[in-house]
Structure 1
Amino acid sequence: MIRDAHDAAERLLSWYDHNRRDLPWRAKPGEEADPYRVWLSEIMLQQTTVPAAAPYFRAFTERWPTVHDLAAAPLDDLLVAWAGLGYYARARNLYKCAQVVANELGGRFPDAEERLLELPGIGAYTAAAIASIAFGRKATVVDGNVERVVARVFAVEEPLPNVKPKLRALAGTITPDERPGDYAQAMMDLGATVCTPRKPKCMLCPWAEWCDARAAGIQEDLPRKVAKADKPTRRGVAYWLLNPEGAVLLRRRAEEGLLGGMTEVPSTDWTAMAPDEAALRRAAPLEANWRRLPGTVRHTFSHFHLELGVVAAKAGDGWRRAEGIWVPVDRLGGQALPSVMMKVVRHALAHA
């Protein structure tokens, strides 16, 4: 167990100075961190790995190098650029936050946690990360990597997620006043590169001698997690409809709820039971000679599995009555289609 927080911080920061990761959003040694880049990266990393987020971050910052640029962009452009990162509510909140910062705060992010928490899409972790990394404020920054380090150092055996408040409190006891931004990033790097989920590299750890889990031989068992319940499966059918000009019908989902505001291939509701023929006729965007395509589109969301059948048809003379937008097939890449709908598009193109 760490008994001298100052000594522990010094040792970790020394390790970090020699082993820090080179990340596209991270300021170089001696450089001042850019709050916009810190904020953007933290939003992207909320549910995404570093390797997955890095190319998106580079693309965003090349296209929208400042918060003013991002705030002035059309929302649909941002959603298209976000496609593949998932959790589109984060993208919409990113856009709202950029507009608040650019239009109401003069392009300057607040430097205090409590004020950062007032911005759309910024929760406790993100506020602490921005305050410490971008502004050098002392803050307790706890992501999944930090939770793992703290659980092992203090041998906390209660399972996640209920133990999160305890882990945060313990992390707070060893958070230093000096170099808080570097310390926060050092903790993240330690968890990502040394104190890894499997086969941690304890011999390389600057805190190995203080780690209670290592002393007890249970480091690979921590942090414990409550067993997850099996995800239910929902089912539906998507409608691939082409007009006489070769364009496909798309529509925008409601702003609230799953994939809110995103563009989709029209579909039935997603329910436990697959829709019957009557339900298929009711949900169809137009009366047409629908034929079922072979195979099934499968996708997994955070809380359920989805299985979609696909039916295809060519619209007749009344195609303009359909609710939605008609998009040429070769321009589908410019639409804000979430990953599940891109799977539907690929399936339809392969089998229609």
Structure 2
Amino acid sequence: MGRNQKSADSFAGLPISSVENQRETLLTWYANACRDLPWRGSTDPYPIWISEIMLQQTQVKTVIPYYHRWLAEFPTIETLATADLQQVLLVWQGLGYYSRARNLHKAAQQIIQDYGGIFPDQLSDVLALPGIGRTTAGGILSAAFNQPVPILDGNVKRILARLVALSVPPAKATKKLWQLSESLLDPEHPGTFNQALMDLGATICTPKNPDCCHCPWQSHCQAYNLGIASKLPMREASTPLPHKIIGVAVIWNNQEQILIDRRPAQGLLGGLWEFPGGKIEPDETVADCIKREIREELGIEIEVGDRVITVDHAYSHFRVTLIVHHCRHLSGVPQALECDEIRWVTLEEIDQFPFPKANTQIIGALRQETERM
């Protein structure tokens, strides 16, 4: 009896013989139901790595066009490593969680420096690359090198929580869920098995209204047998997201250029360009906020004009409302006091710079105004 089977038996309360059956039924289901995704069927670790990073926090249908565009622009690790970070961010623009793009760039440079441009095949080396955690490493190593390394993304956590009718939120049972994922993993076909798990979570064992009638693990699933599949996994008590209201300036000069600034490389939206502004303080008007922020950030005086647009946007840990106004540069030479770089650009040139998603809505509103004039 293997260690893996003991682990599955002791935690999941499943008969030892069921582990082999679960592997077989899942792989049989996957052979007939797998999704045709562009990164599948290849054992090249580079495109697999790109897909794994893009799929963090992002749905497959959103990722696919970005994946194709990325590989067209950066077909190899070397082309990514030698690319300018601004171009990397521009290709990534709109996909969100921009630290992923920055980490891909850093990791590619590290692979060139430490591994001669060849993606490493040892777990410790892969985990040492920026932006790669245990699940991403498992996805890459199992798919590219057929190594028996488990995964535990959101889909897999949900499947396993239902499989054993987990009585606590997954975050409180992470170690046990990793043990179960490792125990169930098919040692002969780990890459296919991990892909099958992800597809099962994406298409059958979904967060809401799981399609238990078509699930290959229905007979093994304790949550289904107890009639509580749709109630699991248990969720942590959530708190309301903090809400920030931001005054934003679209500053024009006499040459009909707009002033944009580049955020510091580290931190939220690092390295991206934006329209300057800042948080509205209590008892402060939008206009007063914008004037103050521009004075503090750029060292210039402006006149605040008409509103352009109001944009609501949610990040993972907070949400923002951007109240955007046209402004006119009055005096002073702009200085990069709280950013890495500033530029005057025309509306026609602005697509050359990577912007956060909320700012692209501002650009769209400016273009609509121009078309109406």
TM-score (norm 2): 0.87
CA contact (8 A) 2:305 2:328 kept: no
- Aligned to 1:293, which of 291, 294, 307? 307
Deviation at 1:161, TM superposition (A): 2.5
Say what the alpha-carbon RMSD is for the aligned residues. Answer: 2.0
Long gaps (5+) in structure 2: 1-12, 337-341
CA contact (8 A) 2:248 2:290 kept: no
Q: 1:36 to 1:272 in 2, by over 3 A?
A: farther
- Corresponding residue for residue 27 of structure 2: 13
Deviation at 1:271, TM superposition (A): 5.8
1:342 lines up with 2:360 in the alignment? yes
TM-score (norm 1): 0.92
> Partners of 2:288 and 2:320 in 1: how far apart?
21
1:25 lines up with 2:39 in the alignment? yes
Q: Deviations over 1:287-335 (max 9, x none)?
A: 132224165221111111111222222335x575454101110121221
- Corresponding residue for residue 58 of structure 1: 68
The one-letter code matched in structure 2 to 1:39 is W
- Aligned to 1:86, which of 96, 104, 108? 96
Deviation at 1:125, TM superposition (A): 1.1
- Corresponding residue for residue 110 of structure 2: 100
The one-letter code matched in structure 2 to 1:62 is A
Corresponding residue SS for 1:337: coil
The one-letter code matched in structure 2 to 1:327 is V
Deviation at 1:227, TM superposition (A): 2.5
Corresponding residue SS for 2:170: coil
Deviation at 1:133, TM superposition (A): 1.2
> Partners of 1:16 and 1:109 in 2: how far apart?
28
4+ long deviations beyond 6 Å: none
The one-letter code matched in structure 1 to 2:273 is T
Q: 1:245 to 1:233 in 2, by over 3 A?
A: same
1:173 lines up with 2:187 in the alignment? no
- Aligned to 1:197, which of 201, 204, 207? 207
Q: 1:9 to 1:106 in 2, by over 3 A?
A: same
CA contact (8 A) 1:289 1:313 kept: yes
> Partners of 2:129 and 2:255 in 1: how far apart?
45
> Partners of 1:315 and 1:293 in 2: how far apart?
16
Q: 1:278 to 1:208 in 2, by over 3 A?
A: closer
Match runs of 1:43-192 below 5 Å = 43-192=53-202
Q: Deviations over 1:193-246 (max 9, x none)?
A: 121222222222221111111111111111111131101111121111122222
- Corresponding residue for residue 225 of structure 2: 215
Q: 1:36 to 1:321 in 2, by over 3 A?
A: same
CA contact (8 A) 1:233 1:304 kept: yes
- Aligned to 2:350, which of 332, 345, 351? 332
> Partners of 2:173 and 2:357 in 1: how far apart?
33
Corresponding residue SS for 1:236: strand
Corresponding residue SS for 1:107: coil
The one-letter code matched in structure 1 to 2:117 is G
Q: Percent identity?
A: 37
Q: Deviations over 1:86-128 (max 9, x none)?
A: 1111111111011111233112111122211111111111111
Deviation at 1:137, TM superposition (A): 0.8
Deviation at 1:162, TM superposition (A): 2.2
Deviation at 1:160, TM superposition (A): 3.4
